[in-house]
Amino acid sequence: MFKSFVRSLATNANTQVFKLQEPPKYVLGSLRSFPSLEPKEFVALPNDFLNLPTRRDILWSAVVYEEDKAKIETTQVFTKGDAIYSHKKLRPQKGSGKARVGDANSPHRYNPIKAHVITAPHDWSTELPNKIYNKAMATALSEQYKDGKLYIVGNNESSELNESDSSIIDFKYGYPETIKQFKNQHHLKNLNLLFITDIERSNLTKAIEGDKVKALTKENVEVRDILKANRVYIELPALQWFIGKYL
């Protein structure tokens, strides 16, 4: 009887089709109005862009790549060929009772002349595959999203906005007091804020002058900018541009 029971289980197992559950393809992002940050609706975003695991090695490689590209050597360093001093010997070849020496342009002497230096201008930039940099950008945004520090500003025209709100990141007046009120309203004092806009916003640029806030258009954003920020506010068209370029 036991053998027949085992045989029936094996038969049923062969006839059944087991389907593995597929991982989700999208994550939900909350669309908010600005500057109140009131949530209006949800938008579906690719899971492969905003839900990536933490890869410190990729992030480190991208930051080093950006730092090297931004480094510019402008220091003027003198070499022996510049001959800033006279070529005359400092003492006679013989008769002084001391060792022979050359002129004052020798890098062994106490002077600003160096023997082996990198002269300006020098290109410090290094190479990094686009695939690695794209993954780093998506990973940085994923970190902000998973920590609840990524705020998406936009509107799908299906919800109404308050009179004081907008579907873009911009201030109506552009006075410095406006950004201070924004910080006080959302308890953001002494935090690094990053505003990512689809195009340049003149009022936003005026409002953040002299404040610990950074506003960049989508083309000028780097991985290190996202990692340094305590809060990231990005417009929906700019985020969609990121997905199209870096995914």
Band (62; pLDDT cuts 50, 70, 90)? very high
For 148-184, how does the pLDDT look when each residue is reduced to its tens digit (9 = 90+)?
A: 999 999 887 666 667 677 888 888 765 666 888 888 8
**168: in domain:** yes
**44: in domain:** yes
**15: in domain:** no
104 and 138 co-located in one domain: no
**103: in domain:** yes
45 and 77 co-located in one domain: no
206 and 151 co-located in one domain: yes
227 and 140 co-located in one domain: yes
Tally of structural domains, the chain = 2
Q: Which domain holds residue 173?
A: 21-71+124-246
CB atoms within 10 A of CB 60: 12
139 and 210 co-located in one domain: yes
For 132-152, how does the pLDDT look when each residue is reduced to its tens digit (9 = 90+)?
A: 999 999 999 999 999 999 999
**96: in domain:** yes
212 and 152 co-located in one domain: yes
82 and 54 co-located in one domain: no
